[in-house]
Each structure stands twice: as structure tokens, then as C-alpha cells.
Structure 1
Amino acid sequence: MTGIRARRGSILAVSSLVLGVWLYVAPTPAVAEVTAFKQAVAEAAARDDDIAAFYRANKFAPIWTGPGEADRMRRAELLRAIRGAADHGLPVSRYDPAALIARLSAVRTARDRGLAEVEMSRVFVQFARDMQTGIIADPKRIDSAIKREIPQRDRTAYLTDFANARPAAFFRALPPRSMEYNALLKEKVEMEALLSRGGWGPKVPGKSLERGDKGQPVIALRNRLYAMAYLPRSNTMVYDQAITDAVIEFQIAHGLNPDGKVGPATMAQINTSVEKRLQSVMVALERERWFNTDRGKRHILVNIPDFSAKIIDDGKVTFYTRSVVGARDPDRVTPEFSDVMEHMIVNPSWFVPRSIVTKEYLPSMKRNPNAASHLVITDRRGRKVSRSSINFSQYTERNFPYAMHQPPSRSNALGLVKFMFPNKYNIYLHDTPAKSLFSRDVRAFSHGCIRLAQPFDFAYALLAVQESDPKAAFKSALNTGREIKINLVDPVPVHLIYRTAVTNARGHTEYRADIYGRDARIWSALTKAGVVLGGLGS
């Protein structure tokens, strides 16, 4: 196709077809046309300080609508990228490629071209930031316990860097490069296809099932496990060994205790729809974009809904333990954030947070001054105060003047070791004497800190990089019975995350319950931003 020559004195349509879009530009524009273009750019960019700053620094020259091959390639790659935004769970409607193409097609004057130039920059900056660091700019507004600092890039820098980059390579580099992100993209495609086929079929009726049961609920369970690929095709009407084995496999894949029985927690997970699973994947993709940063060659990863803590070395899990996280009470949930672990304290004292002192212990001590007798009461100068000298009834949450702590012991609330990554939320990892809680399916019981099922082994793993005999070094401190601080020679990044869709070591996606309802709130925000589920109505 060749260029189209307009009437003398009008703008010449240069052969610059981009995905069906003709863009009218002037190869040798008159001074008046240049001025009109620049004035239009300045006028349109004035509504966005970052875009305006870029064009001022660029002397209002085009990067999208010029006649050269570089501009054509930028247009082509932007249109290709925003058309494929849904592949990453981004809202295509937010970038509206059809409207952008229509605007480009309608360009007839230098002013039209200037307005189209700025509109392309606006769409580009929005898309680039969404792809790199997420659609939701401030997650704390969705849930105040999401404390994560989003590594957002300067908006002007997107334009500056893009103008000097190869367009296709620039767009390829925007999304997270983690294996987790790529695995989630693959799961998204598979779940969309499954959703378009109708999902896993009818839900399983009833509250619980176990081996030996018969009847329609067992048939429904059999069929659903088959649809989920946990059970070979079968005609059994009895909850037999094959179904038991399939349930165990399902439980392992969903972070449940593998007892082979379908109790309430297992039933809830089995009956979760494909649509809900796909929502978990979409939210996990967004969370991965928030977390698009270097996590550390060695780091600690605590996934709150998975009730687990891991040490990751060079991308591989080298240590795993079960955990207990904050209870579902809004004042006790575990927040999401990252920090750096600097040391551990062996035989720690537990300095009771004031909120616990005043809300939990003070009311009981008003009824009985000797309540919580395992705790030491101290004044503002740290001096021990006898309970007999305190009239607890005269104090309220606001004016109670004392602090409380529990000295080191095996019954200490923190157990025998705590792992510190100093932060303003007063969150840390620690041992606990309440070992029975680790056998529960749902392990949300703490005041926000993370309790570890195997704290000693966790300590050995951390110390292994700096001690020839890490176990002996730890035990030496432990056996003193005194509070001892052990510094980590190389501090370790700690990441407290919240993922209900997670990838296992084999690259398969597993699912967890949304214990705090955070993912549901994030999904609601994503839908308001224009994100839609693929596979619905297909």
C-alpha cells in the first residue's frame, strides 16, 4: 500500500500503517505546523505533570507520531502490548486500544497529531506502571494490613527510557521475571479454558465424608475428584481406598492435614469453584507485580495463608516449617511487609505489648490480682512492683502505668528463641510452647507474630552459613538459660506475603483459603479497575 497525497498545502499521509491505522504526518512540515503540533502537545500534557516534564525536556518532539521508523515501531509495540493486556490479568478497557486506534485514524491536522501524541504517552505510562508494579497503586487503601512498599518507578522515567530503548525489548522487560509469575500465567490460561468448559461439575453435598460412606454425596465426591485429576475414572459408589488416596493427595496440594477424610475444611476447598480459583490466580499476579523486586539470593518467605515459613537459597527451598499466624481478629492479623532479619535471641523474655496488657490482662487482674502470675510487673523505670501494692480497679486501658514481661523459661510465650527483623509493627518469628496448634488445618491463633513448628532447626539453618557446627553454637547459648543475642553475620531479607495461589516445587499451582478475606477485597478492587475473568461466557 502506498502513501496518499492530499491537496497542496495540507498534511501528507505517509505510508505508516500500524495494525490497520493510518497516521497523517508531514515529512517536511512547515513552521506553522510544527508550532501547532508543539502547542497541542504542551496543552494536552499540561494535565499531567510527569508527561509535561518529559515533553519539556524533549523540546516537545514526538516519540509516537513522527514519520520515522522508530516512531512507527513504538506505535506498533504499544498497540500490541495493550491489546494483549488481558493475558497478564490487566484491564484492557483501561487502555482502550480501539479508542486509541480511532484517535490515530482521525488525525488530519498538526494539532490532531499533537493531541494523539500525548494520548499515546498517557496510555503508555499507565500500562507500563500497571504491568511492572501493579494496577492498585496503594494496596493499604484496600486493606490496612498490607504494609508492602510498592517499588514504583518514576512516571517520567518510563517515557525517557522508552524513547531510548528497543520498543519490543522494553515491553518484554516490564512484567516480573520470577518463575512464580510465569507459572501463574500458565495456570491462568489453564483455568480459563477449564472455566469455559463449565468447571468441575456439581458441588459435593453435606458437611463431611469418610471411608466406608456410600450414596449420592460419595458419587459427587468421586466425580469432582476425577474432574480435578486426583482420581482415575471409576464407577464406585463407596468411599473406598482409591477415593481416600485421592483425598489425601488433594489435601496435601491444598495445605490441609492429609487424613483422607473430608471434614469441613477439606469440603470447603473441594467445593471451591473454578471461577474462585481463577480469581486467586489473578490476585496472585497482581501481588507478584507489587513484589517485582530483588528478594535476596537467600531470603525467608512466610506465606500467611499457607501457614508456612521457608528459607530460599538461589531460588530453591532449603528449609520448610509449619507456622501459626495472627488470628482473624482485625487487631491480631499478621501484616504483609518485607524487612531484614539481623539476629536471634535465645532464651528470650517476653515483653508483653501494651495492647495485650491493657485489653487482656488488666481486666482479669481487676477480678483477681494474682491472675497471670507468670508475668512480672514493672514500673516506668523497670523496677519490679509487687501486685499487693497495686489497686488494679483504679486503672483503665489509658492510664495503667505498668509494664509486664515474662522471664526466660520453657513456658515462655515466645518459647526458647525468637528471630528478629526489627520493624515498626513489632512482628517477629519465634518458638512457642503451644505445639498442638501446628496440627490444625487452619493455624491462625497468634497476636500477629509468626510461631514456628521447628524453631531450633530454623536456627541451625540460619547459622549454618557462619558456624562450622551451628547446632553446637545454638545449644551452647541455649544451655546458659540466660537471654543471649546471636547476630547474623549476613542479615537475611524476610518477606511476609499473602498468596492463596502458590506454585509448588514441581511447578504446579496449589490453593489456600483466603483466611483474612484480603484477596476477596483485592479482587473487588481489580474488577472496579476493569479486570475481567477470561473463560466466562466463552
Structure 2
Amino acid sequence: MLVGTLIALAVTAGFAATASDAPVALTTAVQSLLQTRLTTIGSGAAATVQGRHLASPAMVRLFYDQRQYRPAWAGADGSGRPLSELLTALEGLRQEALNPEAYHLQSLQRLYGDLQSSGLLREEVRLELLVDAELLATDAFLTSAGHLLSGRIAPETLGPEQQAVHKDADLIGALETAAHSGRLQPVLSSFLPDHSGYRRLRRILQRYRRIEEKGGWTQLPDGPTLRAGVEDERVSMLRFRLVAEGFLDGRRARDGNHFDSTLKRAVAAFQRQHGLAADGVIGALTREALNVSARSRVRQIELNMERWRWLPRYLGKRYLLVNIADYQMEIVDENRRVMVMRVAVGRDYRRTPVFSAELTRLVLNPHWYVPPTIFTEDLLPAIRSNPEYLRERGYRVFSSLGPDAEEMDPDRIDWQAVDPGNFPYILRKDPGPFNPMGRVKFLFPNKYDVYIHDSPDRSIFTQPKRTFSSGCIRIEKPIELAEYLLKDHFNWTRRRILAEIESGRSEIIEVPAPLPTYIQYWTAWVDESGNVQFREDIYGRDALLGETLSKLPDF
């Protein structure tokens, strides 16, 4: 009844009277029905169109409110021709590791096809189709733009140890710009992460999808270690496996069962790109990496593209980045890596969190104040079993953190009766060679109380898997980092830094130019040489992210 009334009004107003009047009448009719439909949605009714749920109904309504319900996609002749560019853009979302079907692609394609042949439809049917197309297309644009900008999920929903930089953008204004200019694709693309690391991942994603579409690669069976010089039927299988991923020239695939020097070099290249010891030997770890399926590698790339969307669009002229999964830290200055070093990160039960902050100060010869978790889980049980534990390891007890804190006699504390949840004292370890902070600590204030710092145990940096800390980040070259941070501080030379450390005095130094610091968890990326790098999911965060994304509705 409502649609018939609108059509009647449109005809009365000249909907079909003349060619010049028709677009005006059509727009009026679409406006009226859009307003009615959106009012119904706003009153609490389910926001469902063509059997699809709108993902962003509030924004859709606001968009049309602001433009007095004028259609954005119908086209002057009611053919829905502006939808064509949107359909192309939605199909392209697959390259961004997003599923186009989450943005109503099939429904919009069907609507577009129907509108192209709308001359065969009754006017009231065509009007309903136009309004359906308006609602679904607007929802698709606004939702996909938001996902390109910030990701499909907020990392905070994965748990307290992951945090993103939240980005604000006027999505409705962007859609208005696209509707006015008729150039939708550039507007939508402006929400993509503007980082070379993201673009390199996007390119490699297409390559691995092609490998997957061709059938991927076969599994390498278990068996004795394979190394140069051996004869084994699995060597031939290994050749085909490496050819499939591009580590070995296809012409060498049929060179037989002898493990030669060329194959050893190809294996070593594979190992380097998977964070393994590049010895050219197929042991258990290398075979495990070889047997990860092409589909799993595709998914791994997609998950890490999602993580890029959690970062700010501009990282800074200079910044420090730690990749937890790679046990590595780098400093980038003017798009060049100027410093790279190994790091150790948190154990599995005390994981290093993902977050961003600003490095503002460093401390030479730092004290170490025992965090509550370490006191409760590590120190208190040890103190209770050994009354001399604190003295033997150089711990002191204070009444508080302040400069006027009173030092307490640990023998006068009943450690057996201590409530770890209400411990009134502070445990401190003074500067020295056995301080867990080492000789230098770097401060970037954050809610996790995580620091970057030196380590008294240098041997940890020779280990391939470096999960040794209680959440903080231990670095291989603390003096070099301090020197870099203080390079614009005219009186803080390397010689003076070392002299101050040798003095044993604790000193806090402000960094002249605070350094944006990003603690990230990337298990797949493409290095500056164009080689894809894969790493073990040491904390299970890929698995959690993948499972969470798989449960999201496709509306």
C-alpha cells in the first residue's frame, strides 16, 4: 500500500510526464521510501535488507539524515549505475584479506543486475529494489571503510595483553565526498594502511593464493635427518616441495634422490625465511615448517595484514619497533633501518603485550623494584623456604617507593604470614652486575609496566628461541641504543655513558626527542629484499585471532 501510494504521488508530480521530470520524481519517491524504511529501523526493528543484516545501521541512518534522504546510488535514471564502481571495489577487498561477502557483495550484484533490466519491472518493484540497493551499498561502504582503517576486530577484545592505536575518521563525510565526486575507489582506498610493510604483504598474499589454487605442496614424511650427501627417496619429494614455494629452480625438481649442494643452499634459504638455523639440514623443526600447508601460510599472511590495520597511519619520522615473534628490535629513521638487534621477550605464562607508547627517558645503573606478580609467584615462596634468600641475592626491603622510604629489616617480617595481595613493603635490588635490569633501562610509560632493558645474562641472545623474561624486553645492544637516543644531547657521548655506568651511580636522563615505540607481534612479513618471512606463533595469538575472525558474522 505504501509503495503504491508513493508511486501514485510520483506520477501525480510528473514522474513519467516528461524525460526531464522523471529523475526528479524518481528521487522524490526514493527519498520518501528511504525515510520510511530508516525510521522503521531506527525504532528498534531489525535492520535487515534482502535477508542481510546491516552491520552499521546507525551510520547508514545518519548518512541519509544528513543528505535529506537523497539517494546516493540510484543514478539519475534509476539504473543503479553508480553501484558498478562499488561492486568493483568490494571484489577488490579480497586483495586486502577481507571477505567481500561480509559487505553484501552477492546481494548487491543481484540488485544491480535487476536494476539494469528494470524496464521489465513494475515501478513499485523497481522502487523497492532501489531503496534496498541504497541501504546495502551505503552499509557496505561504511563498514568496509571502517575495517580497512582499523581492522575487523579491536585487539582489546582478544584479551588485555593486546592494544591498538584507535584512529578517528569521518566515514560518513568520506562517503558524501565519493557520492558527490563520483570517484568512489580513491576515497575507499584512502583508508588502507599507508605502510610499505602492508603493501608488501598484500603482494605476497596474491602469490601464496596462486600456490594454494595450484594445489599447494605435499607433506615431507618423517624419517632420518636429511643432509648433504645422503641418498633418500624423500629427497626427491623435498625438491618438489621447495620448487612449489620458489626456493628451488623448477629445472632441479627431477634431479633425483641425492642431496646435493644446490639443494642444501635452497634448504638454508628456506630456513632463513622461517627463523631457523640456516644449516641446510632437514631436522625436526625444519620438516615441521616445510609441512605447514599453503592454506595455512595464506591465512597467516591475512592475519598479519589485519594487525597492520591496528597501527597508526603514520608511525613517525623515527620510531622503534619490536617484533615479539621474531625476537628482534629495529630503529627506523627516514624510512631506513639504522639499528637492528636481538631481543628476549616474555615467557609463555608472562607474555610481552602488544601496544604503542613513547620512549622518553633512560636510566643508567637502574634499581629494580620487584613487581607484585614476580613477588607473589617467584620470590615469596623462595623467601619462605630460605630465610637468607633476600640477603644472598642482594634484595633490600623498604617501607615505600618515595625518597624518604625507611629501610626495613627482613628478619623482623613474618614472611609465613605475609598476604601477597596486601604486602605493604617494596623489594628493591640495587644497581650492579646482577641487577635483572642490567646497566641500562629505557622508559616508555605504559599501563603494563613493561620496559626495554639490558640483561646481566648475555648468553640468552645466542639462543634461537628467546622467551626468557617476565614480560619486559631485554636487548642485545643497550649501549648502542642509549648512544643513539642521546646523539643530540651534546654532552652525552658514548665515553661518558660508559663512564657513568662504571661509576655505579643511578642517573635518569631525558631523551631529547621522544621516540615512538611499537611493540608488535608479526608472524609473517616481507623484508626489504622482498623475501617473505614466517615465524612460529609462540604465544598462540595467530590461533586466537583466526578463531575470533572466523566467528564474526558475514551479515
The TM-score by the shorter chain falls in which range? Answer: 0.7 to 0.9
Q: Give the 5 Å matches for 1:415-430.
A: 415-430=438-453
Residue among 339, 359, 364 paired with 1:319: 339
Residues 104 and 136 in structure 2, CA contact (< 8 A), matched pair in contact too: no
1:370 to 1:208, Cα distance in 2 relative to 1, 3 A? farther
Partner residue of 1:40?
Answer: 36
Shift of 1:154: 4.6
Residues 59 and 142 in structure 2, CA contact (< 8 A), matched pair in contact too: no
Residue among 352, 369, 380 paired with 1:334: 352
Partner residue of 1:20?
Answer: none
* Matched residue type, 2:58: D
* Paired residue secondary structure (1:141): helix
* Matched residue type, 1:149: V
Residue among 175, 200, 210 paired with 2:217: 200
1:210 to 1:485, Cα distance in 2 relative to 1, 3 A? farther
1:31 to 1:269, Cα distance in 2 relative to 1, 3 A? closer
Query: 1:85 and 2:93 equivalent?
Result: yes
Query: 1:266 and 2:266 equivalent?
Result: no
Partner residue of 2:161?
Answer: 145
Partner residue of 2:141?
Answer: 124
Residues 73 and 167 in structure 1, CA contact (< 8 A), matched pair in contact too: no
1:243 to 1:116, Cα distance in 2 relative to 1, 3 A? closer
Shift of 1:26: 3.7
Residues 311 and 317 in structure 1, CA contact (< 8 A), matched pair in contact too: yes
Shift of 1:128: 1.4
Partner residue of 1:487?
Answer: 510
Shift of 1:13: 12
Partner residue of 2:241?
Answer: 224
The Cα offsets for residues 107-133 of structure 1, whole Å up to 9 and x where unpaired, read as 733565344323321121112112222
Shift of 1:245: 3.1
Query: 1:396 and 2:406 equivalent?
Result: no
Shift of 1:185: 1.4
1:240 to 1:98, Cα distance in 2 relative to 1, 3 A? closer
* Paired residue secondary structure (1:393): coil
Distance 1:78 1:314 in 2: 36
Shift of 1:446: 0.9
Shift of 1:12: 5.3
**Structure 1 stretch 278-287 or stretch 52-61: which is displaced more?**
52-61
Shift of 1:100: 1.8
Shift of 1:210: 4.3
Partner residue of 2:50?
Answer: none
Residues 133 and 152 in structure 1, CA contact (< 8 A), matched pair in contact too: no
Residue among 207, 221, 233 paired with 1:190: 207
1:14 to 1:276, Cα distance in 2 relative to 1, 3 A? farther
Shift of 1:223: 4.1
Partner residue of 2:54?
Answer: none
* Matched residue type, 1:229: G
Residues 349 and 405 in structure 1, CA contact (< 8 A), matched pair in contact too: yes
Residues 201 and 224 in structure 1, CA contact (< 8 A), matched pair in contact too: yes
Query: 1:406 and 2:429 equivalent?
Result: yes
Distance 2:34 2:258 in 1: 77
Distance 2:18 2:334 in 1: 52
Residues 44 and 115 in structure 1, CA contact (< 8 A), matched pair in contact too: no
The Cα offsets for residues 229-278 of structure 1, whole Å up to 9 and x where unpaired, read as 33452736455544443333222222223344444333322222211111
Partner residue of 2:110?
Answer: 102
Q: What percent of counterpart residues are identical? A: 29
Shift of 1:309: 0.2
Query: 1:65 and 2:78 equivalent?
Result: no
* Matched residue type, 2:93: A
Q: Give the 5 Å matches for 1:327-406.
A: 327-329=347-349, 332-372=350-390, 373-380=393-400, 382-406=405-429
Partner residue of 2:316?
Answer: 296
Shift of 1:454: 1.4
> Would you say how many aligned residue pairs link Structure 1 and Structure 2?
513
Residues 347 and 467 in structure 2, CA contact (< 8 A), matched pair in contact too: yes
Could you list the runs of 5+ residues in structure 1 that have no partner in the other structure? 1-5, 16-24, 532-538
1:207 to 1:353, Cα distance in 2 relative to 1, 3 A? farther
**Structure 1 stretch 50-59 or stretch 149-158: which is displaced more?**
149-158
Whichever structure has more helix as a proportion of its residues is 2
Residues 129 and 152 in structure 1, CA contact (< 8 A), matched pair in contact too: no
Partner residue of 1:19?
Answer: none
Shift of 1:74: 4.2
TM-score, length-scaled by structure 1? 0.87
Partner residue of 2:3?
Answer: none
The Cα offsets for residues 454-474 of structure 1, whole Å up to 9 and x where unpaired, read as 111222222234448742242
Residue among 507, 510, 520 paired with 2:533: 510
- RMSD over aligned Cα atoms: 3.0
* Paired residue secondary structure (1:27): helix
* Paired residue secondary structure (2:219): coil
Shift of 1:211: 4.8
Shift of 1:213: 4.6
The Cα offsets for residues 349-379 of structure 1, whole Å up to 9 and x where unpaired, read as 1111011011111011111111243221222
* Matched residue type, 1:95: Y
Distance 1:13 1:361 in 2: 88
* Matched residue type, 1:78: L
Distance 2:17 2:192 in 1: 35
Shift of 1:163: 3.8
Distance 1:111 1:275 in 2: 41
Query: 1:279 and 2:296 equivalent?
Result: no
* Matched residue type, 1:94: A
The Cα offsets for residues 490-515 of structure 1, whole Å up to 9 and x where unpaired, read as 10100111111111111221111111
The Cα offsets for residues 411-466 of structure 1, whole Å up to 9 and x where unpaired, read as 21011101110111111111101221212221112111111111112222222344
**Structure 1 stretch 160-169 or stretch 295-304: which is displaced more?**
160-169
Residues 132 and 175 in structure 1, CA contact (< 8 A), matched pair in contact too: yes
1:212 to 1:415, Cα distance in 2 relative to 1, 3 A? farther
